[in-house]
Amino acid sequence: GAVVSQHPSRVICKSGTSVKIECRSLDFQATTMFWYRQFPKQSLMLMATSNEGSKATYEQGVEKDKFLINHASLTLSTLTVTSAHPEDSSFYICSATAGVSSYEQYFGPGTRLTVT
């Protein structure tokens, strides 16, 4: 089956620094990638949708200048949390699909971000 990886799996950073999380589709071309955020014991909330080569579409309430998303190739999307603060600590999960009309999304294993 299709595999999506994320790197790093865990990261601890100091308040005020920026952190980059990578999401890769390993054996298929992902025209669309999604970024989700999950707080402890809560559901996944969609943050943004990114299509290869175009700007990401952010969900209401998500700061695009704080969560920078780049989808430069068909196998890689990155999420950069800029000027991180403790309230940004969360579990970030990406998913990828082979097309806008595709009904199958493949999820990465997630990245645990802790901001101290």
Partner 1 sequence: GEDVEQSLFLSVREGDSSVINCTYTDSSSTYLYWYKQEPGAGLQLLTYIFSNMDMKQDQRLTVLLNKKDKHLSLRIADTQTGDSAIYFCAVLGTASKLTFGTGTRLQVTL
Question: Which residues lie near partner 1 (CB under 8 A)?
Answer: 6, 32, 34, 42-46, 49, 93, 95, 97, 100-110, 112
> In the bound complex, what is the minimum distance in angstroms from residue 19's beta carbon to partner 1?
18
- Our CB check for partner 1 shows the closer of 46 and 83 to be 46
Residue 51: name the closest of 32, 69, 36 by CA: 32
> In the bound complex, what is the minimum distance in angstroms from residue 16's beta carbon to partner 1?
26
- Our CB check for partner 1 shows the closer of 65 and 101 to be 101
User: Residue 89 class from Cβ within 10 Å (0-12 exposed, 13-18 middle, 19+ buried)?
Assistant: middle
Read off the amino acid at residue 1: G
> In the bound complex, what is the minimum distance in angstroms from residue 101's beta carbon to partner 1?
7
- Our CB check for partner 1 shows the closer of 34 and 67 to be 34
How far is it, in rounded angstroms, from Cα 53 to Cα 40? 33
> In the bound complex, what is the minimum distance in angstroms from residue 107's beta carbon to partner 1?
4
In the DSSP assignment, the letter for residue 18 is: -
- Both tokens of 31, joined, read 């025209």
